Amino acid sequence: GLPAVATIALAVGLTRMARRNALVRRLGAVEALGSTTVVCSDKTGTLTAGRMSVRAVALPAAELVVEGRGYELEGRILRDGTPIRGDDEPVLGRLLEAAAWTPTASIDPATHEVAGDPTDAALLVLAARGGRPREALEAAQGDPHVLPFSGERLMSAAVVGGETFVKGAPDRVLTACDRVAVGEGFEPLDEATRHRLEQRNRELADEGLRVIGLASQDRAAPDLASLDGLIFLGLVGILDPPAAGVPETVALLREAGIRTVMITGDQTATGAAVARELGLLEEGAAVVEGGALANTSDEELPTLVRETAVYARTGPADKLRIVSALQAEGHVVAMLGDGVNDAAALRKADVGVAMGGRGTDLARETAAIVLQDDRFATVGAAVEEGRVIDDNIRKFAFYLFSCNLAEVGVLLGAGLLGLPLPLLPLQILWLNLVTDTFPALALAMEPAEPGVMTRPPRAPGAPLLSRRFVRALAFYATLITVVTLAAWGWGLARGDVEGARSLAFTALALAQLFHLGNARGRRPMLARGAVVANRWALAAVGVVVPLQIAAVTWAPLRTILGTRALSVEEWGVVGVLSVLPAIVGQTVEVVQMRRAASGQGPTGRP
């Protein structure tokens, strides 16, 4: 029955995970979830809400504040508390044009739904709030020629009417500039101004804002490689608040012994600020930039990843190296991704997790698990359900192995003692079909135990039949064997072989059934709510007990199984003997729980 019950346990667990919006595409991921030690995640839209809004604009000679909700086009740009628009300030007008031309996203003006990158959407909203809506610019000047974003240069551009507008990483944009916009014109970008703008970039990033640099070129650029001699227009600070439930989930995973690692394309200061807000950046944890990662050899990388919590300015190759290095350190890695560039890391990870809503088709096809609600909190739910499935498989394996070993022990013990055969073949078949199967199926339905997310992950590659597991299995099998042989011997002493066989058969069946409590969990069944926590276990008892009574009272079944009816005295003996393994087992559970509470040993059975 073990393969059948294991299949049912997996099916039940997968159904539970689906109800919690985690769709499992590969069964192997379920086992890996139970021993996951590191969760690697992108920042934008996973750890953060992914609904970005511009909160600050740093012009070369002015600081502006932006007001408004999300992607709603209504809002204001303020300078010293006074509303300002692109027509009021030439440099702001130029920056707003760059913000309008360079994005590839679009926003539905009625529903405010975004199609495309949320950062680009935030720039479009900024342009509209400042009086430079893209629709008006296109009506006047036509469609732009777009130079797509380059992961190498970290910039993109749009060419309109002989002029080029550029957006990208602030440091890369500043490096490509030799002039700065002033009034209707420009002036050379001296070192003092460059240093001041670099400092302002760091300040915005330290506030947890994604910072975008905007610039222009007074000629049509044929490609991104020719973007030099630019005119710097300003910096835009974009807020992407933490997604609901993320700090709580990070804390939950940490309590479960799982480290959360952020892998982001943002600059280092932004990633570190967001990580601190989410509780990712603990004392002693490191923040590493993609450049430093690229300069680290494969031999040195495992040492680097041990203490690193945030990876900034990373690309697809960096993600793959990070996952590989963590695995080389013995970690079981879950990787969250949603884009085409995440596919290699998703495939390499022990558990690839893709976003079902905004994820690309390639990411979803590559991943082992798809989050239907795109929420990081669902990862915590998936890990919990993975542990429950792993626990339940071990519980019914423990139950079936100990029961079957007890049956073997009864037959072997009687043979060694020179006694007649205590069980007939059909009686053994009955035990396997009734007292083994129904309780084992109930164990497959066992809910999560208290504290399932407060214990460390199961060691990768830990065998099912560990020494502690085998010792416990042998202990309980011996208990059941002893009480069964005691019933058999007591019956033989009365000179009735058929009656003795009925006693042994019934005592073994009920002892196995009551052993269900020992197999159900790491806490005693007398703990509050433990007995009724699994109604399927109660149902199994309600089914097996009447069937076993019928096996020795209903004439047709007695004839088939070779039993006879038991007297009141015999039922009393069977009752006392069959409950002894459960009593001993629960006593052991209480002792182990108290020892664990005092820090003297592990809790419960393995």
Our CA angle for 527, 530, 533, nearest 5°, is 160
**C-alpha to C-alpha distance for 137 and 144, rounded to whole angstroms:** 10
- CA neighbor of 57 nearest in space, from 100, 95, 102, 106: 95
Distances (CA, A) of 166 to 97, 186, 200, 234: 10, 16, 19, 11
Question: Torsion angle of alpha carbons 15, 18, 20, 23, nearest 10°?
Answer: 140
**pLDDT tens readout for residues 368-390:** 999 999 899 999 999 999 899 88
When pLDDT is averaged across residues 31-54 and rounded to a whole number, the result is 88
What's the mean per-residue pLDDT of the chain? Answer: 90
The yes or no reply on domain 53-239 and CATH 3.30.300.30 is no
Residue 338's pLDDT band (boundaries 50, 70, 90)? confident
Euclidean distance between CA atoms 428 and 440, whole angstroms: 16
Token pair, residue 515, equals 């052993």
Instruction: Say if CB 201 and CB 168 are below 8 A apart.
Output: no
Phi, psi angle pair for 268, to nearest 5°: -60, -45
3-state secondary structure of 238: strand
Closest of 408, 520, 526 to residue 474, by C-alpha: 408
Burial 412-439 (b: 16+ CB within 10 A, else e): ebbeeeebeebbeeebbebbeebbbbbb
Q: At what angle do helices 90-101 and 118-129 cross, to 10 degrees?
A: 140
Structure tokens at 271: 């990633």
Q: Which of 68, 89, 65 is nearest to 78 (CA)?
A: 65
Model confidence at 593: pLDDT above 90: no
- Pairing type for strands 308-312 and 286-289 reads parallel
SS3 216: strand
Residues belonging to the active site: 42
525 or 101: which carries more pLDDT confidence? 101
Domain ranges of the chain: 36-48+243-351, 53-239, 398-597
Q: Classify domain 398-597 by CATH number.
A: 1.20.1110.10
CA angle 300, 303, 307 (to 5 degrees): 140
For residue 575, what pLDDT is reported?
95
d(CA 138, CA 462): 62
pLDDT range class, residue 152, cuts 50, 70, 90: confident
Torsion angle of C-alpha atoms 240, 246, 247, 251, degrees rounded to 10: -150
Task: Provide the β-strand partners of residue 342.
Answer: none
Pairing of strands 259-263, 38-42: parallel
Q: What are the φ and ψ backbone dihedral angles of 231, each rounded to 5 degrees?
A: -105, 120
Could you say which of 3.40.50.300, 3.40.50.1000, 3.20.20.140, 3.30.2090.10 is the CATH number of the domain covering 36-48+243-351?
A: 3.40.50.1000
pLDDT the model gives residue 12:
84
Pairing mode, strands 163-168 and 62-68? unpaired
Quickly tell me which residue has 């296109």 as its tokens.
138
Q: What percent of the chain has pLDDT over 70?
A: 96
* Largest interatomic CA distance in the chain: 115
With 70 as the cut, is the pLDDT of residue 599 above it? no
